[in-house]
Structure 1
Amino acid sequence: MELRQQRFQQTKLDTIEKMEPMEKKDAEISGVIAPPPPAAAAGGATPTDAESEVEDYERQARELKAGLHPLKHKFVFWYTRRAPGVRSQTSYEDNIKTLVDFSTVEGFWVCYCHLARPSSLPSPTDLHLFKEGIRPLWEDAANCNGGKWIIRFKKIVSGRFWEDLVLALVGDQLDYGDNICGAVLSIRFNEDILSVWNRDASDHQAVMALRDSIKRHLKLPHSYLMEYKPHDASLRDNSSYRNAWLRG
């Protein structure tokens, strides 16, 4: 227990250190935070993207002024507890509950320390971590053209891999980070399943780079198989994890 506490505290410090260069750079530019990039203000992005970037900069400015360590993105934890059986779209949406959101390193650790550990969650349960504004649904506008990488774990080790994945996602450590929507831990009877959702299933380079980045950050043993499934395929067969079409 003492060793795990030491690892936990060191991971916390490492996460804060990864955010500090951004804080220092932004503070040097404007005293608080850098202005939005020209592309966002000059039409280089869609209006929705531009508005989102401005909101992120304003949020980070407030958090820096308060002495906090802002994350690149604001995140939301969601929770789904449903009865076993066929997935009904209406019932699935009704069962998704928002737990908490956070946008700073400090806010993340406050939230994470109070979340139940995966080993204590009943089956079937889904725990979702997604960027703000993206619902953990195949049909969401940010997800509908994308897909997910799938990894199956024995229940005894899934909690550790989930924690490492959460830290990599929150710390923006995975390659093609802007293409990532979120991650899901699915607690099942005989195994637990981790999945990382991305925006564009047709971008083969981004999909494969994300696979390699996940393997690297999780230090995934070679014996573990990763599968990829587009969300439109999930819609067709009404299944999250069956019939994945790409393996790696």
Structure 2
Amino acid sequence: MNNKFDALKDDDSGDHEQDQGSPKDSEKEKPEEDDKEQNIIKKKVEQFWRFYSHMIRPGDLTGHSDFHLFKEGIKPMWEDDANKMGGKWIIRLRKGLASRCWENLILAMLGEQFMVGEEICGAVVSVRFQEDIISIWNKTASDQATTARIRDTLRRVLNLPPNTIMEYKTHTDSIKYVCLLVLLFFSFNLSVS
């Protein structure tokens, strides 16, 4: 048997193929395409791992630090064309979990485990004094099915307990919030002067 589906060909209809020669062209191409895709993913992971293995882990950082990992050509900014209509899933972690969660997240991204096409833009881990924050950014905040798939995959990949609070925030809401804070800051400063 050439592949795992050959066993399914045997049925009781009596219409068995007599020719045990080469499979149809479409059957040949599919495994080759799958092999090529797997090789590309494997090379991406190996190439990334060469760099990542020399980096300091998020849990080993002190103070206020951020690591950004975004696809080539996408800036980790709300205003970037790939991000402006999107949003991000945010997970607040107890201290001590950031390194493991970050590593699991980036390997899932490289291995395309989210199965949402080109929807993932990147990820951020933010190391803070009291907690660490992991977020994964996507292109289309209005696509609820895709954001739900990202959430569910994220929960599985990070092995999060069912009661873990996950927040989805659109980038337009984030921009509005920052603008409001800036306005309040300047209003406060003007009234104090």
Q: TM-score, normalised by structure 1?
A: 0.56
Q: Partners in 2 of 1:71 and 1:175 — Cα distance?
A: 13
Q: Alpha-carbon deviation of 1:123?
A: 2.3
In the alignment, which residue of structure 1 is the partner of 2:119?
Answer: 179
- Secondary structure of 1:224's match? coil
Q: Alpha-carbon deviation of 1:161?
A: 1.0
Q: Partners in 1 of 2:135 and 2:87 — Cα distance?
A: 10
The structure-2 alpha-carbon separation of the partners of 1:27 and 1:145, relative to structure 1 and needing over 3 Å to count, comes to closer
**2:61 is the counterpart of 1:121:** yes
Which string of whole-angstrom CA distances, capped at 9 and with x for unpartnered residues, describes residues 201-224 of structure 1?
011111111111111222211121
Please, which runs of 5 or more residues in structure 1 have no aligned partner? 1-23, 34-59, 73-102, 240-248
Q: TM-score, normalised by structure 2?
A: 0.71
Q: Alpha-carbon deviation of 1:108?
A: 1.2
In the alignment, which residue of structure 1 is the partner of 2:26?
Answer: none
Matches within 5 A, 1:120-159: 120-159=60-99
In the alignment, which residue of structure 1 is the partner of 2:11?
Answer: none
2:136 to 196, 207, 210: 196
Q: Partners in 1 of 2:91 and 2:124 — Cα distance?
A: 11
- Secondary structure of 1:174's match? coil
- Secondary structure of 1:238's match? helix
1:223 to 147, 150, 163: 163
Q: Partners in 2 of 1:223 and 1:106 — Cα distance?
A: 34
Number of matched residues? 150
Q: Partners in 2 of 1:164 and 1:180 — Cα distance?
A: 15
Q: Partners in 2 of 1:118 and 1:170 — Cα distance?
A: 18
The sequence identity of aligned pairs, in percent, is 47
- Secondary structure of 2:118's match? helix
2:41 to 66, 71, 86: 71
Q: Partners in 2 of 1:167 and 1:215 — Cα distance?
A: 14
Please, which runs of 5 or more residues in structure 2 have no aligned partner? 1-30, 180-193
Q: Read off the aligned partner of 1:226 and give its amino acid letter.
A: M
Q: Partners in 2 of 1:25 and 1:129 — Cα distance?
A: 30
In the alignment, which residue of structure 2 is the partner of 1:99?
Answer: none
List, as ranges, runs of 4+ consecutive aligned residues in structure 1 with deviation greater than 3 Å: none
Q: Partners in 1 of 2:129 and 2:151 — Cα distance?
A: 26
The structure-2 alpha-carbon separation of the partners of 1:236 and 1:112, relative to structure 1 and needing over 3 Å to count, comes to same
Q: Alpha-carbon deviation of 1:27?
A: 8.8
